[in-house]
Structure 1
Amino acid sequence: MISVCMATYNGQDFVIRQLESIIKQLDTNDQILIVDDRSTDNTVKLIREHYGDRVEIHINETNSGPIKSFEKAISLAIGDFIFLSDQDDIWENGKVAKVQNAFQDPDVMLVTHDAYVVDGNLKIIELSWNTFNNNDIEQGLFGNIIKNAYTGCMMAFRKELKPLILPFPDSIEMHDQWIALVCMIERKKIVHISEPLMKYVRHGGNVTAIKRRSLTTQLKGRIGTIQAILSHKKKH
């Protein structure tokens, strides 16, 4: 069984398009779970109108941000395999099957893949997100503390990872980086599929849009990540 975990916030313009690309790849017993971060538009209404009980929606009591929203979604996931999804992308046909094929190896804990980078009109900007963002998937633990090469919406992992990654430490910068780092710390097998398996939409409104951060902010984030790693090692 698969659980797809999505966090939404004011996504009425594109969330149905994304859900359509996902649902056609799932079995009827697979779980689609959305945590909405107090949208002020018609996101929740549209999803309920289109899908009824097929899509499970949980609304945050307060606006909590993407990390807390994904933490909640993952904690509620009941599937053997958990796929993370943003609200505004489009999954390519065959994404689920190709990721599940990688999980045929019982030692594989985390699967990642590449993506096409497209603008708001779905015009391809770059054939590879990893090239576009200078991601080095092979750079290891220290390299991923300095620059995260993992993108949550291009991840899937086994349910066995949940007790190792949850709850997300308050000091981490992003959930996707934390999930990858925990896999490295715990020496879990990670497989990367080089094929682009989705359209990654960069229209300027994304919650995780690329932003220039001050050196102080970057340093604070890295220190927080290191603190979370050290704390994890003590607990496990």
Structure 2
Amino acid sequence: MATYNGEKYIKQQLASILGQLSSKDEVIIVDDCSQDDTLFTINAFNDDRIKIISNSVNIGPIKSFEKALKSSQGDYIFLADQDDVWLSNKVSTVLHCFKHEKADLVVHDATVVDNNLKPISPSWNTYNHNRFGKSWFSTLTKNPFTGANMAFSRRVLEVCVPFPKKIPMHDWWIGGVCQQSGFKISLVNHSLMMYRRHGSNVTGNGHQIKKMLVNRIHFWSVMRRHSSGCTN
């Protein structure tokens, strides 16, 4: 998990996660120079499974997630956002896919909710028009992978980290690498999490269109370099 000024929701999210974990599991949190009581709220759990890494300077979500992934020790890695709420069967359902479906990457659906957890849509994949193809070329036009809904094996981690420069987002990169590398992807077509959507989203203007185009160019570039064995 990467946190930044997440005091409003982090307690609820951590409680939903910790209740599903064993004593051998870990929750790695990289805090990106929060200015509120995020760290105080996390420390108040007084749980040895929580490991906090505090950035000395703000490095953004991609590098913060990369730092967290590099610090992980488990066989299976779950990505988490600071403001969602995991349903009580999320971990058990995902682990079943790893162990019985021999999955390398598990992607599940989520219920879209507002600030107060009021439902907006029963399916994030439907709401966001996500389509999961077998080739990374299908992911080039639109990224269907949402980090908070993803978990993967350590062998996926070893291929994806370190992140190349200029990836558009960490989840886009991880999903594309799994497609390109032929890793087994299991899709759970029901909700295992409440996915908060809040704030204003600006779409359709010239700046946004330019950013979308640049992201796709960068994604194309890093995927081509990865296929040729380049790592940066």
TM-score normalized with structure 1 length? 0.92
CA contact (8 A) 1:107 1:188 kept: no
Count of paired positions: 227
Aligned residue for 1:34, secondary structure, equals: strand
- Considering fraction of residues, name the structure with more strand: 1
Counterparts of 1:215-230 in structure 2, within 5 Å, are 215-230=209-224
Aligned residue for 1:35, secondary structure, equals: strand
The change in CA–CA distance for 1:139 and 1:163 in structure 2 (over 3 A counts) is closer
1:128 and 2:123 equivalent? yes
Measured in 1, the distance between the counterparts of 2:103 and 2:134 equals: 18
TM-score normalized with structure 2 length? 0.94
1:30 and 2:30 equivalent? no
Measured in 1, the distance between the counterparts of 2:128 and 2:178 equals: 22
Measured in 1, the distance between the counterparts of 2:102 and 2:87 equals: 26
Q: Which residue of 2 aligns with 1:3?
A: none
Superposed displacement of residue 141, structure 1 = 1.5
CA contact (8 A) 1:173 1:224 kept: yes
Superposed displacement of residue 172, structure 1 = 1.1
Q: Which residue of 2 aligns with 1:169?
A: 164
Q: Specify every segment of 5 or more residues in structure 1 that has no aligned partner in the other structure, as ranges.
A: 1-5
CA-to-partner distance for each residue in 1:57-76, whole Å, 9 max, x for gaps?
A: 00112111111111010110
CA-to-partner distance for each residue in 1:12-45, whole Å, 9 max, x for gaps?
A: 0110100000001000110111000100001011
Q: Which residue of 2 aligns with 1:233?
A: 227
Counterparts of 1:62-73 in structure 2, within 5 Å, are 62-73=57-68
Q: Which residue of 1 aligns with 2:9?
A: 14
Flag as ranges the 4+ runs of structure 1 deviating above 4 A.
none
2:131 alignment partner AA: D
Measured in 2, the distance between the counterparts of 1:164 and 1:54 equals: 26
Measured in 1, the distance between the counterparts of 2:92 and 2:123 equals: 20
Q: Which residue of 1 aligns with 2:132?
A: 137
CA-to-partner distance for each residue in 1:92-148, whole Å, 9 max, x for gaps?
A: 011000000001146411001000000001100000001111111236311211110
- Percent of residue pairs identical: 43
Superposed displacement of residue 221, structure 1 = 1.1
Q: CA RMSD in A?
A: 1.5
Superposed displacement of residue 234, structure 1 = 1.8
The change in CA–CA distance for 1:142 and 1:211 in structure 2 (over 3 A counts) is farther
Aligned residue for 1:53, secondary structure, equals: coil
Superposed displacement of residue 195, structure 1 = 0.9
Q: Which residue of 2 aligns with 1:56?
A: 51
Measured in 2, the distance between the counterparts of 1:13 and 1:67 equals: 22
For residue 189 of structure 1, the aligned residue among 168, 175, 184 is 184
Superposed displacement of residue 51, structure 1 = 2.4
1:68 alignment partner AA: K
Measured in 2, the distance between the counterparts of 1:24 and 1:49 equals: 16
Q: Which residue of 1 aligns with 2:90?
A: 95
Aligned residue for 2:109, secondary structure, equals: strand
Superposed displacement of residue 54, structure 1 = 3.0
CA contact (8 A) 1:112 1:154 kept: yes
Q: Which residue of 2 aligns with 1:85?
A: 80
